[in-house]
Amino acid sequence: MKLVSYLNNGADQLAFLVDGFLYDCDFVHPELAGNMNMFLQFWDDMFPIAQTVNNAIIDGRISKEKGIDLNEVKLLAPVPFPASCKSCVNSISTTWRNSNVSISI
C-alpha cells in the first residue's frame, strides 16, 4: 500500500497511489481520513479500512475513473505538517529563551 499527500484546492489531501493514479482516501471510503495527520492519529481504526480499500483498488473493484493521474498534481511531503518537528522547534526555542542565549529561529 502506498499513501501520498498532494495539494488539493490549497489543502493537503491523502490518497492511495496505485498504477500511477491517486485515489482520495476520504472519497473512496467515507470513514477514512482526508489527510495524513488525521490518518496517523487514528491509525488503529484507519489502517484495516485502508488495507481493504487498497485491495479493492488493486482488484479493480474501485475503477480508475475515480482516480486522478499522478502527473496532474503537486505532491507534498508524506506527512506535510509533522507535529513532532513543531514540538522540537518549540522545545529548543524555550530552552534557549530560558538560558538567555541570543539566537533566532
pLDDT band at 81 (very low <50, low <70, confident <90, very high): confident
pLDDT in tens, 1-13: 999 999 999 999 9
Of 70 and 89, the one with more pLDDT: 70
Residue 54, judged by CB atoms within 10 A of its CB (0-12, 13-18, 19+), counts as buried
Instruction: Tell me the residue ranges of DSSP E strands in the chain.
Output: 3-8, 11-18, 21-24, 68-69
Predicted pLDDT at 48: 98
Please give the radius of gyration of the chain, using alpha carbons only, rounded to the nearest integer. Answer: 18
pLDDT in tens, 35-61: 999 999 999 999 999 999 999 999 999
Residue 72, judged by CB atoms within 10 A of its CB (0-12, 13-18, 19+), counts as exposed
